[in-house]
C-alpha cells in the first residue's frame, strides 16, 4: 500500500529492484526509508511514462485518461509533490474543442491572447448545459476560451490546483470576473435608465438578492445570478445539502446581473411604471430563471404559481 501514493491505487504490478532482498519480510516493508525511496522512484517513472505517451501517442493516452483520469485529478488536487506533473496531464473539453475532443492546460495557454491573464473554466453537468447557459456568452463574444468541467470532483481540483504556468484558474461564473468592454449596441437602455431599473429590481426583490447591477458578460440572455458567497459555490452547496451539513439550507444570497441590451429588460423598464404588479411578477420570474441556470433554485413551487398568474395576464 505505501509503495504508491493513494491516487495510484488503480495500478498493479511487480517491482524489481536491487534494493530489495530476495526474501521480503514484514520488517523489510516496515523500513520507511526503503519504502519512501521506492515510492518516489516508481511514481516519478510512471509520470514520465504518461507524459511521453501523451506526447507521442495522444489517442492512446486519451483512452487511458477516459478510464483513469479521475485518479490523476485526485493526485493533482492532493499530491503537492507531484502536482505540477499531474496538472500537465489533465484533459478537458473546452469552448474551442469539438464535442468529445479534449485539450491540455498547456495547449490552452498557447491559445491565450496577449491581454488574457487567467485560465477560465465552467463546471456543469454536460456540454449542452454550459453552451446554452448565460455564463459563456461574454467569453464567446470576446473570443476567450473556457475549459468545460463535467465531473463532480473538477471544482475541487481547480480550487486546489489554483494556477498553471503562472496563470490563475478562474471560474467563469464567479462574481468577481472582469471582462473587457464591448461596443455598446444601439437600442440598449441608457445608463440612467439602467440605474433606475436596477434600483427598482433591488427594492422589488428585497432580501432575495444581495445586489442588482448591469452585466458586462451578457450578450443575449436577460440576466444571470452569481453566488454572493465567494466560499460556497452551487456545486459545493449541493454536495453539503446531500450530506446534510450545517448551513446548506440557509437562503441563497445572489448578485443579479442584468443585460441592458435585452428586449426583456427594455420591456420590463417600460412595464415597471405602467403595470407595476405585472412587472413585479416578471422580475421574480427573471430571478428564478437565473437561479435555475445557476443551479441555485431550491423550491420551484412558488415559481409555478407565479407562472400561472403571468399566463392569465397574456
Please tell me the predicted confidence (pLDDT) of residue 229. Answer: 61
pLDDT for residue 302 is more than 90 = no
| pLDDT 10s digits, 39-60 | 888 899 999 999 999 999 999 9
DSSP state letter for 296: -
| pLDDT 10s digits, 176-219 | 898 888 777 778 899 999 999 999 999 999 999 999 999 989 99
Q: Taking residues 227-256, what's their average pLDDT? A: 65
The alpha carbon torsion through 47, 80, 103, 118 (nearest 10 deg) reads -150
pLDDT for residue 235 is more than 70 = no
107 CB-contact burial (10 Å; exposed 0-12 / middle 13-18 / buried 19+): middle
For the domain 93-171, what is the CATH code? 3.40.50.11260
Please tell me the predicted confidence (pLDDT) of residue 256. Answer: 96
CA–CA separation, 181 vs 162, rounded Å?
A: 26
| pLDDT 10s digits, 165-186 | 999 999 999 888 988 887 777 7
Please tell me the predicted confidence (pLDDT) of residue 147. Answer: 99
Domain boundaries for CATH 3.40.50.11260 within the chain: 93-171
CA–CA separation, 249 vs 298, rounded Å?
A: 9
Strands 118-123 and 146-149: parallel
Give the helix, strand, coil percentages of the chain, each rounded to 5: 50, 10, 40
User: For 145-159, 175-189, 288-302, which range has the lowest pLDDT when averaged over its residues?
Assistant: 175-189
pLDDT for residue 111 is more than 80 = yes
Domain boundaries for CATH 1.20.120.790 within the chain: 191-312
Q: Which residues contact 123 (CB under 8 A, 6 or more apart)?
A: 149, 150, 154, 155, 158, 171, 233, 235
Strands 146-149 and 93-94: antiparallel
Fold (topology level) of 191-312: 1.20.120
pLDDT for residue 17 is more than 70 = no
Task: Name the band, by pLDDT with cuts 50, 70 and 90, for residue 93.
Answer: very high
Amino acid at each position: 500500500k505505501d509503495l504508491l501514493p493513494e491516487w495510484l491505487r488503480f495500478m498493479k504490478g511487480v517491482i524489481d529492484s536491487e534494493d530489495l532482498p530476495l526474501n521480503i519480510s514484514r520488517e523489510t516493508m516496515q523500513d520507511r526509508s526503503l519504502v519512501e525511496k521506492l515510492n518516489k522512484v516508481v511514481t516519478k517513472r510512471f509520470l514520465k511514462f504518461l507524459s511521453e505517451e501523451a506526447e507521442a501517442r495522444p489517442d492512446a493516452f486519451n483512452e487511458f485518461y477516459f478510464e483513469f483520469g479521475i485518479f490523476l485529478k485526485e493526485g493533482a488536487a492532493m499530491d503537492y509533490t507531484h502536482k505540477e506533473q499531474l496538472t500537465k496531464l489533465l484533459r478537458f473539453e473546452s469552448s474551442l474543442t469539438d464535442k468529445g475532443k479534449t485539450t491540455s492546460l498547456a495547449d490552452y495557454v498557447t491559445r491565450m491572447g496577449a491581454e488574457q491573464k487567467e485560465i477560465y473554466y465552467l463546471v456543469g453537468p454536460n456540454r449542452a448545459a454550459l453552451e446554452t447557459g448565460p455564463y459563456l456568452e461574454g467569453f464567446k463574444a470576446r473570443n476567450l476560451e473556457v475549459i468545460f468541467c463535467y465531473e463532480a470532483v473538477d471544482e475541487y481540483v481547480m480550487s486546489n490546483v489554483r494556477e498553471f504556468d503562472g496563470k490563475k484558474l478562474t471560474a467563469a461564473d464567479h462574481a468577481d470576473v472582469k471582462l473587457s468592454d464591448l461596443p455598446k449596441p444601439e437600442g440598449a437602455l441608457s445608463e440612467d435608465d439602467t440605474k433606475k431599473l436596477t434600483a427598482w429590481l433591488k427594492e422589488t426583490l428585497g432580501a432575495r438578492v444581495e445586489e442588482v447591477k448591469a452585466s458586462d458578460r451578457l450578450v443575449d440572455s436577460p440576466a444571470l445570478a452569481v453566488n454572493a458567497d465567494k466560499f460556497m459555490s452551487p456545486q459545493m452547496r449541493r454536495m453539503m445539502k446531500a450530506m446534510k451539513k450545517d448551513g446548506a439550507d440557509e437562503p441563497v444570497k445572489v448578485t443579479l446581473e442584468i443585460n441592458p441590451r435585452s428586449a426583456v429588460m427594455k420591456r420590463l423598464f417600460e412595464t415597471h411604471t405602467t403595470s407595476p404588479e405585472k412587472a413585479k411578477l416578471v422580475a421574480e420570474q427573471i430571478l428564478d430563471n437565473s437561479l435555475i441556470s445557476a443551479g441555485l433554485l431550491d423550491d420551484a413551487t412558488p415559481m409555478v404559481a407565479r407562472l400561472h398568474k403571468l399566463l392569465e395576464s397574456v
